[in-house]
Structure 1
Amino acid sequence: MTTEDHFQIGTVTKTRGLKGELQVFVAFDEPEKLKFTTLFIELGGKQVPYFVTFFKLPQKNIAYVLLEDVDTIEKAALLVKKNVFLSNKNKPKKKKNEFGLKDLLNFIAVDENEGELGEIIEIHEYPQQFIATVSYKNQEVLFPLNESIIKGIDVVKGVVTVDLPEGLLDVYLE
């Protein structure tokens, strides 16, 4: 199984309880639309399949998961901080009018106070948030992509308007 056959849905954040239950941060829009019986966890650079016996979404982006043959806290602890994947055949089809944060790649970022920052050259997906990278004044600048930072998106022009926290750019330029 190669990485091209799978897409990442999240990361195991911690164990839960004594019977091998895992808490997974799900960095996937609308995780309730995901349908699967097997997930893959990255171990030693390979995606290892696990059969899911229990999957619950108690809150947005947090899932509780029980896996077949992972029935102790010791076995579950070995999976903490590992990336979780699904097979591409389980990926929900995106509608034409759906737009996610990863789609901001190659958009021009414009700060409300500083003006044009540059093209978003990378989007990193971390547990809890997405981080955009732009090259601003010959420096690589990182900033979070979330509701409080993004003020507007013009899909036609390929522009995302942001309001960066005061002093964030200074950290990179000094």
Structure 2
Amino acid sequence: MAHENYYLLGYIVRTHGTKGDVTIHLDVDYPEDYEEVESLFVEIKGELVPYFVEDMNIQKQNKAIVRLEDVDSIEQAQALVGSALYMPIEELEELGEGGFYYHQIQGYSVVDEALGELGIIRAIYTPNTQDLIAMDYQGSEVLIPIVDDIVISADHEKKQVLVKLPEGLLDVYLGPNTDPDDLSEDDED
């Protein structure tokens, strides 16, 4: 099954108990929306394998305890630990104008309101503290916090993400002497 028709839902992080249940991390904004999911796809050796979900109990911090059909022992569950979980893209809800899912904007260009086009989105990082857009800019990786005041909207037709970067953000990544206009031309010694 081709991965491009699926989105990353999360990961199996460990076993739970001795009867085959697993604990998963849901890499989504609203985990409770997935409590009634009937099936999901587990990535095994690069292939997406469908599993029916017998039970999913959402916990705090984007965790859930899941019982998958035909996974009846701790040994079977342990074999799935570390595997990525996927869902078909067609099951995603339609977002309003300018909204986006993370998987949609990879490869889009970043356009700042003041500075214009900056670079291409290479990845989205979702650590526990703050989701970040990773953009290549002048040979450096620049991380842009995904918050409403900074990331304004996405234009899917133009494949662009409009941002309003805080003053000095790019300087943090580029360092003090990276702008050619800042370099002294009076070095005559």
1:54 aligns with 2:55: yes
For 1:24-43, list aligned pairs within 5 A.
24-34=24-34, 35-43=36-44
Aligned to 2:163: 159
CA displacement 1:93-116 (0-9 Å, x = unmatched):
223147346266422369xxxx89
Aligned to 1:124: 124
Aligned to 2:72: 71
- Report deviation, 1:2: 2.3
Give 2:165's aligned amino acid.
T
1:108 aligns with 2:111: yes
Quick check: 1:107–1:160 contact (8 Å CA) kept in 2? no
Normalising by the residue count of structure 2, what TM-score does the alignment of the two structures yield?
Answer: 0.66
- Report deviation, 1:160: 3.9
Quick check: 2:6–2:89 contact (8 Å CA) kept in 1? yes
Runs of 4+ that moved beyond 6 A:
none
Looking at structure 1, the residues matched to 89 and 24 of structure 2 have their Cα atoms a distance apart, in angstroms, of 19
Distance 1:101 1:9, change over 3 A: same
Normalising by the residue count of structure 1, what TM-score does the alignment of the two structures yield?
Answer: 0.71
Give 1:154's aligned amino acid.
I
Distance 1:145 1:10, change over 3 A: farther
Q: Structure 2: give runs of 5+ residues left out of the alignment.
A: 156-160, 179-189
Looking at structure 2, the residues matched to 135 and 53 of structure 1 have their Cα atoms a distance apart, in angstroms, of 42
User: What percent identity do the matched residue pairs reach?
Assistant: 25
Quick check: 1:33–1:92 contact (8 Å CA) kept in 2? no
Quick check: 2:14–2:81 contact (8 Å CA) kept in 1? yes
RMSD: 3.5
Looking at structure 2, the residues matched to 63 and 95 of structure 1 have their Cα atoms a distance apart, in angstroms, of 25
Looking at structure 2, the residues matched to 95 and 121 of structure 1 have their Cα atoms a distance apart, in angstroms, of 20
* Structure whose CA Rg is larger: 2
Aligned to 2:137: 136
Q: Secondary structure at the match of 1:36?
A: coil
Looking at structure 2, the residues matched to 22 and 98 of structure 1 have their Cα atoms a distance apart, in angstroms, of 36
